[in-house]
Amino acid sequence: MCLAIPGKVHKIEGKKVWVKYPHAIREVLAGDEPVKVGDFVLVQMGIILKIVSLREAASSLKAWKSFS
């Protein structure tokens, strides 16, 4: 089972998307999701799988912080 940390879309160039995490910015592919700058997303294997709400992202990030 894989777990994904929500990241915020920082920059978009075609299908390439840069997602900002608490300690890094990663280049990923947009997949089939219609993402825009500022969206929170879940990424698996370098592809955006889902756009998540701010509330869901905040809740998930809070849970991740409790483990670190």
Residue 11 lies in a domain: yes
The DSSP string of the chain is ------EEEEEEETTEEEEEETTEEEEEE-TT----TT-EEEEETTEEEEEE-HHHHHHHHHHHHHH-
pLDDT value of position 22:
83
Residue 1 lies in a domain: no
pLDDT value of position 2:
64
Domain tally for the chain? Answer: 1
Residue 21: which domain range?
7-67
pLDDT value of position 67:
67
pLDDT tens profile 16-68: 999 999 889 999 999 888 999 999 999 999 999 999 999 998 888 777 677 66
Residue 55 lies in a domain: yes
CATH number, position 52: 2.30.30.140
Two structure tokens written together for 68? 């670190």
